[in-house]
Amino acid sequence: MNKNLSIVLVLICCLSCFSQERFLQYSSKDTINGQPKVKGSIGINLKLNGYYDVFGGLQDSETFNIGNINVFETDDSGNLKVDLYQSQINFQSAVMTEKGEKISAVVEFDFWGGNGHMRLRKAYVAFNHWLIGQSWVQFGDDELWPNIMEWEGPPSGIWVRAPQVTYFNAFNNKKWNYTLSLTAPNIDYDKYGDLEPLVEEANQTTPDFTAAIKYQQPWGHLRLSSVFRNVNYIYDNEKRSFFGYGFAFSGIYVKDRNNFQFQLTGGEGVSTYNTSVQGFGYDGYPTSNGDFDATPSFGGWASYELFYSPKFHSTFVLGYTRYQLKDANRFIVGYFEDEQIIVLEGDAINFHHYAIVNLMYDPFERMSFGVELDYGNKKVSYNGAINNQFIDDEQARDAMRISFGFMYAF
């Protein structure tokens, strides 16, 4: 039980910086089975986030989100910004019942709600193999996060938080554990500026179901997860729905503080779980034969963190994502002189490439300074009919950013 709770309750913002015990803690004097009856802590993850856009289409994006690159724009002007909105406040408590069972609770905020407004990240209770509340969705692997300065992560990464009811347990062999979860459907919807299926948001009626199994070892773990969902959309004022499914394979290997992490994802109708296009309504599209298909997607990322000394270390990250519309009835590929360009009965493929290298310095325990080079490329290939003429074209654009800042946990 305690081992499984520790897996579920792990809080990872930075593998090497935010894993220590909190300074502000409380423990009651009365105990049960040698454990304090009530225990709690308040933690602050202070992060100064700075970046300079060298060139490319992310001047208006506070994170290095490859999906936000507008391949039809040409502005390559530089842009410098600094803020502390990624700082977090974390409250945790644990209560031991008379039977020796633990009830744990977490509430966590950051300041990413727009213009420094506070935003709820997590709020859940875990007890007796159950987790109820808002936390990381179980389709993702919440123990993974490359030690980087930029806050978006690789475009194929799955870092979505949502309300859920999750059951977690271990098999007879304690190295194997599993989770089953019902998650609130993601109904965020926005227009995807340079590749947009002409659909509208509809009310969702069923939760997403996820199932995962993990193999745990002292060196790290391997994890296989899945998600199954029914997605509602509106097309031509008519409500439609389609079935979506996805699979993810992930893992981490740690040796002498050096660590290797990876995650591979694939499926149809699950683009909303990928960090680069979450909320863009990219899960499905109408086809030319009158059907409504789920959008196929595939991606993956890998990172390696290398410690040169106890205080100096670097992280190297590569990521890739691919989304495809095949035989779509119609879609928008961009805007020229404020006019929409609509492609009829065509195909479209969206590629994201992502690379990062950084150097970080830990002068004291719990503190890290870092500088980082972020590079991304987005390419949209499409074909179909425009004004009764067949076209086969593509648009691509790069972005490069220098990220810098420091992190301190207390």
Beta bridge partners of 214: 177, 223
Q: Is residue 14 part of a domain?
A: no
* pLDDT given for residue 189 in this prediction: 56
Q: How many domains does the chain have?
A: 1
Beta bridge partners of 178: 169, 213
Residue 122 to residue 126: CA distance in whole angstroms: 12
pLDDT tens for 339-384 read: 667 888 999 899 999 999 999 999 999 999 999 999 999 999 999 9
pLDDT tens for 303-347 read: 999 999 999 999 999 999 999 989 988 887 765 556 667 888 999
Share of the chain above pLDDT 70, in %: 90
Of 260, 358, 368, 254, the closest CA to residue 310 belongs to 368
Question: Is 70 exceeded by the pLDDT of residue 11?
Answer: no
Of 59, 72, 265, the closest CA to residue 154 belongs to 265
Q: What average pLDDT does the chain have?
A: 88
Residue 206 belongs to domain spanning? 50-82+129-409
Q: Is residue 350 part of a domain?
A: yes
Q: Is residue 72 part of a domain?
A: yes
Of 47, 13, 60, 45, the closest CA to residue 401 belongs to 60
Can you tell me which residue has the tokens 């190295």? Answer: 175
Q: Is residue 244 part of a domain?
A: yes
Categorize the per-residue pLDDT at 141 as very low, low, confident or very high, splitting at 50, 70 and 90: very high
DSSP labels, 244-282: EEEEEEEEEEEETTEEEEEEEEEEES-GGGSTTTTTSS-
Q: Is residue 353 part of a domain?
A: yes
* pLDDT given for residue 336 in this prediction: 54
Q: Which residues contact 236 (CB under 8 A, 6 or more apart)?
A: none
Residue 380 to residue 399: CA distance in whole angstroms: 15
pLDDT tens for 177-230 read: 999 999 998 765 555 555 666 677 788 899 999 999 999 999 999 999 999 999
Q: Which two tokens stand for residue 43?
A: 């933690």
Q: Are 295 and 325 spatial neighbours (Cβ–Cβ below 8 Å)?
A: yes
* pLDDT given for residue 3 in this prediction: 41
Residue 198 to residue 238: CA distance in whole angstroms: 12
Residue 128 region by backbone torsions, left for phi larger than 0, else alpha for psi between -120 and 50, else beta:
left
Share of the chain above pLDDT 90, in %: 64
Of 193, 151, 157, 149, the closest CA to residue 320 belongs to 157
Higher pLDDT, 386 or 408: 408
CA 216 to chain centre: 22
* pLDDT given for residue 196 in this prediction: 62
Beta bridge partners of 165: 132, 182
Mean pLDDT of 45-72: 91
Question: Is 60 exceeded by the pLDDT of residue 19?
Answer: no
Q: Which residues contact 25 (CB under 8 A, 6 or more apart)?
A: 39, 40, 41
Question: Is 90 exceeded by the pLDDT of residue 148?
Answer: yes
CATH classification of the domain holding 404? 2.40.160
Can you tell me which residue has the tokens 């633990």? Answer: 102
Q: Is residue 119 part of a domain?
A: no
Q: Is residue 25 part of a domain?
A: no
Mean pLDDT of 386-402: 91
pLDDT tens for 222-274 read: 999 999 999 888 877 788 888 999 999 999 999 999 999 999 999 999 988 99
Q: Is residue 13 part of a domain?
A: no
Beta bridge partners of 283: none
Instruction: Give the range among 28-37, 81-90, 223-232, 374-383 with minimum mean pLDDT.
Output: 28-37
**Burial state string for 384-402 with b = 16 or more CB within 10 A and e = fewer than 16:** bebeeeeeeeebebbbbbb
